[in-house]
Amino acid sequence: MAAARHDLAKALLDARPTDGFAFGAALELLEHAVGSSARRRFPRRWAISASLLASSLRRVAMEEIDATRAALTFDRAEGLFLEAIKAAEDVAAMLDLAGYWLNLGNLRLHRDDEAAALAAFERGYAYAQPLSTVLAASGAPTFERLAAALGRLLLKRRRAGDLDRGRALLRLVAKSPGREGALAKLDLVRWYSEAAKPTKARGLMVAVSFHDLPWDALGVAVASCEELGLIDHMVDELKGLIDHYFRLRIAAVADLEADRVAEALQKVAAVLARCYLRSGRDLDAFLVRENVAGLRFNEATAANLASHAEPLTRALQAQFDRAGTTAGLLADCIDRLSVAPPETWRATLEATAAGHERTDPAVAPWAPAVAAAMRRALACEPLTLAAIDATLASTTRRAAIARARLDERAGEDARRINEDVSRDELRRILREAPDTVLVQVTVAGKALTAIAVRLDDGELATRHLSIALPARLFAALRELEHKPSSASVAHELTELLEAIDLSPVLGERHYSLAVVLPSATMARLPLTAIGPRGRRLLDRCDTVIWLPNLFALRTRQAARRPRAGHLVVMPGLHGNTAWHSIALAEPAADEERLAGRAATREAVLRAAARVDTVAFYGHGSHVDGERAWREGEESESSIRLADDRLSSFDLDERWRSMERVELWGCQTGVHTSIDPMTAPIDEAFGFDYDFVRLGVRSAIGSLYKVPEILTAFLVADYRRRLREGASAPRALADAQRAWVDVRLPQLIADFREEPATALTRLAARHGISLDPRSQTNVDVAYYQAVWSCPLFWASFRFIGVAERRPIERWDAAGDRPLTAAEQAQLDAWFADENGSPVG
């Protein structure tokens, strides 16, 4: 078992080096392997496990915030390395010893003990040098890494003979292809620059391929290029990397693989954007990040652009959706099984097959194909991943055929998914919405960067700022997630958020609309309400909407069957809400309600196919994948109904082409994936975005847990503004401003007047009967702190573009089955050269 645990841990670390979920599982497996008495009977094998665990603990220590815990973890890692070295020396495992000394030297470098690190590298080099030919033949870069590490420290120490030996070692490694050679060249570039030999430095720098550099060296290469005046070379190299990752992402089938590539792609784009900003090219910086953000969102929403009025196109889209989803699920299955113990494969495949067999094919048309693929694999003896791989290949080919045929029939909007946003298109977008500002908000390290783009006299104009984020900001956010009712944390966050002033990018103008384009990290903040009062986006702009990128403003959905009516879902006491009568006191025209016991999941799904808007008033929840794995819960985002919960798993064709979904519940817009394997990329995450990806044009959801009284008054003012004719995003912005300017002062003044009966009197005014246990003396300071915190009153965000309806009209004549000739054409497209169906 110890050997199996070690092998699985190594597979997890090799396959998902940046995945925190996989890393935690690998660490646990390695602890078991190293603690195994059976593995200790084989010193070399035990040493390999101990060294891998020590390397993993080094990573834990490097990420640890608490200095004492970090030091203890470093101590344990160093002890494990020394034990591994002793065990390897006992069995004369020379090749292993070189690697262990290398890893120990790196650990000591991280502890800022350069003398001890140098000694470790010298010991490792002594083992590696005689075996350099053997190491090279094995493909292991141990010798090159030891020689380079030793060379760097010798150049830094500068004792007699150190400079000559250090340069000689780095020149030797610089002749190597790939990563190690590129890093050695970069080290020499830096040394020549410091030695005032710019010609030699430039000559070496242009020979450095950015493609060969690890992520942490990319910034050094950029800084060297800027210092040496090699700006064009730097830009070309970074653009080449972006193109490389784009090609990899296009080839990816599984979402997990595509997201890992997108993570690398977005990191490189961020580096290039910062380079552009430093050279005054704000617009180029905006565009390079815009064109790599929200790629999965674009792919999902592109399905809403194809016209379904023509039967053959509708059939092709159904084939693509079914085959594409099946291929993605199969690829993800292979991806996960490839790092799981083979003895668990059958149970996993059986559970997957059974789950899809229970799924209604009318709701998930890909389910039968996925279940069949699992069953075919289970029938194979021995069971190998090749059984699923064969189905994946044919299904992927079917999806590719459907995509190609759809592209041939696509309109201009659908083709935009393959086109970068240009300056001309930015002008067009801003001309269509006069008095609009686009605000891209990203973060690098501890600094926030904002770029604003607007039209001045018909021409694109930009501003940008970069400001340090408050040091306590994200720690305080984590505390609030664990203690959402803490007045002290709320008060601290109010002050921290007021210190983040974005207003300089807006200039002196007041705008009708701000389109906020946040990175994944920045999307955790209530961006409409950060900064000092009077200078926030809500103060400077009438309306604010959130988007992952500009795709929704570049395109327009194709016509679908018309919808009509507005649905309000309010389980009320059956959903355990108390203040719903404040929020929903006055019905709107054409509004129907599912109230109390009638607010069931089945009733909601029936109505979703015909109404134009749905508003949910109930308790929401978000359980991310990592927490679910840790606490044994199911990962999902959902909102409570009278009999069940409505979650992301309930979203299907019934919701497509709806105008708006309002999720007036806690955590319905939490900007993280529910899948723990998803990379932290700039994407559209959240329950609210799940609706928009599927084809709902806009949605409202909340970033955090919001007190219900606050939600009730926000909803009441929002609905009042809608009745008065305001657009939905303007109504939300007005309601949030009204809370701060009117509602909050009134409530606090009322509470101060008679704290003992404040809640009772408030409830009575709205016909609400409170639980006697809640009728206690009101802590006015608590409510003042919590209700005035932007994390609560500005937690609700408006995503998507309101009323951006299709231009063409729905043609009911096209709503018919395929003719015999059309069916024959469809079959021919999906047949191989022998006439057999593909996929």
> In sequence order, what DSSP letters do the residues of 544-558 get, joined into one string?
EEE-SSSHHHH--PP
Q: Bigger pLDDT: 836 or 810? A: 810
Residue 751's pLDDT is: 86
CATH 1.20.1260 fits 177-229, yes or no: no
Mean pLDDT of 288-315: 85
3-state SS, one letter per residue, for 703-764: CCCCCHHHHHHHHHHHHHHHHCCCCHHHHHHHHHHHHHHHHHHHHHHHHHHCHHHHHHHHHH
Type and span of the H or E element at 620: strand 620-623
- 306 pLDDT more than 80: no
Q: Residue 468, CB half-sphere, CA atoms under 13 Å: how many?
A: 3
E strands, 474-606, in order:
511-518, 541-546, 566-570, 591-595
- 835 pLDDT more than 60: no
Residue 535's pLDDT is: 96
Residue 728's pLDDT is: 98
Calculate the alpha carbon distances from 187 to 168, 170, 183, 383, 669 in Å.
12, 8, 6, 49, 46
Q: Residue 119, CB half-sphere, CA atoms under 13 Å: how many?
A: 4
Residue 251's pLDDT is: 76
Type and span of the H or E element at 614: strand 613-617
List phi, psi (to 5°) of 573: -60, -25
Q: Which residue, among 686, 699, 704, has the nearest Cα to 655 in the 3D structure?
A: 699
Residue 132's pLDDT is: 75
Mean pLDDT of 482-497: 90
Residue 526 identity: P
> What is the per-residue pLDDT across 221-256, written as a single tens digit (0 to 9) for each?
999 999 999 999 999 999 999 999 888 887 776 676
Contact 583/617 with Cβ under 8 angstroms? yes
End-to-end CA distance of the chain: 39
The dihedral over CA atoms of 626, 631, 634, 638, expressed in degrees to the nearest 10, equals -80
Tell me which CATH code domain 553-800 carries.
3.40.50
Mean pLDDT of 532-539: 96
The dihedral over CA atoms of 93, 95, 98, 103, expressed in degrees to the nearest 10, equals -90
> What is the per-residue pLDDT across 123-144, written as a single tens digit (0 to 9) for each?
999 988 887 776 666 666 888 9
Q: How far apart are CA 498 and CA 536, in angstroms?
A: 9
Going by pLDDT thresholds of 50, 70 and 90, the confidence category of residue 336 is confident
Handedness of CA 758, 761, 765, 771 (dihedral sign): positive
Contact 699/658 with Cβ under 8 angstroms? no
> What is the per-residue pLDDT across 604-641, written as a single tens digit (0 to 9) for each?
999 999 999 999 999 998 876 555 555 555 567 889 99
- 432 pLDDT more than 90: yes
- 814 pLDDT more than 90: no
Tokens of 251: 């080839």
Residue 595's pLDDT is: 93
Q: How far apart are CA 262 and CA 252, in angstroms?
A: 10
Residue 808's pLDDT is: 85
- 90 pLDDT more than 90: no
Mean pLDDT check: name the lowest of 488-492, 554-558, 621-625, 805-809: 621-625
Between vectors from CA 134 to CA 130 and to CA 136, what angle results, nearest 5°? 105
Between vectors from CA 705 to CA 537 and to CA 440, what angle results, nearest 5°? 30
- 14 pLDDT more than 70: yes
> What is the per-residue pLDDT across 656-670, written as a single tens digit (0 to 9) for each?
999 999 999 999 988
Type and span of the H or E element at 78: helix 67-90
- % of the chain surpassing 90 pLDDT: 51
Burial 782-808 (b: 16+ CB within 10 A, else e): bbbbbbbbbbbbbbbbbbbbbebebee
Contact 797/718 with Cβ under 8 angstroms? no
Residue 494 identity: T
Mean pLDDT check: name the lowest of 113-122, 341-350, 483-492, 664-673: 341-350
- 705 pLDDT more than 70: yes
The dihedral over CA atoms of 186, 192, 195, 197, expressed in degrees to the nearest 10, equals -150
Residue 25 identity: A
Contact 49/6 with Cβ under 8 angstroms? yes
Residue 566's pLDDT is: 97
Mean pLDDT check: name the lowest of 14-18, 51-55, 782-786: 14-18
Mean pLDDT of 304-320: 80
Tokens of 40: 């200790």
Handedness of CA 709, 713, 718, 719 (dihedral sign): positive
- 499 pLDDT more than 70: yes
Residue 559's pLDDT is: 87
Q: How far apart are CA 622 and CA 476, in angstroms?
A: 19
Q: Bigger pLDDT: 513 or 829? A: 513
> What is the per-residue pLDDT across 34-43, written as a single tens digit (0 to 9) for each?
888 888 888 8
Type and span of the H or E element at 188: helix 178-194
User: Which of the given ranges, 163-167, 356-360, 678-682, 835-839, has the highest pLDDT on average?
Assistant: 163-167
Mean pLDDT of 35-53: 88
- % of the chain surpassing 70 pLDDT: 92
Q: Bigger pLDDT: 8 or 430? A: 430
Mean pLDDT of 264-284: 93
Residue corresponding to tokens 């040394």? 191
> What is the per-residue pLDDT across 716-731, written as a single tens digit (0 to 9) for each?
999 999 999 999 999 9
Tokens of 314: 């509708």
Q: Would you list the domain boundaries of the chain?
A: 1-92, 112-172, 177-229, 306-409, 423-469+500-514+534-544, 553-800
DSSP, collapsed to helix, strand or coil, labels residue 257 as helix
Mean pLDDT of 709-713: 94
- 522 pLDDT more than 90: yes
Q: How far apart are CA 263 and CA 257, in angstroms?
A: 10
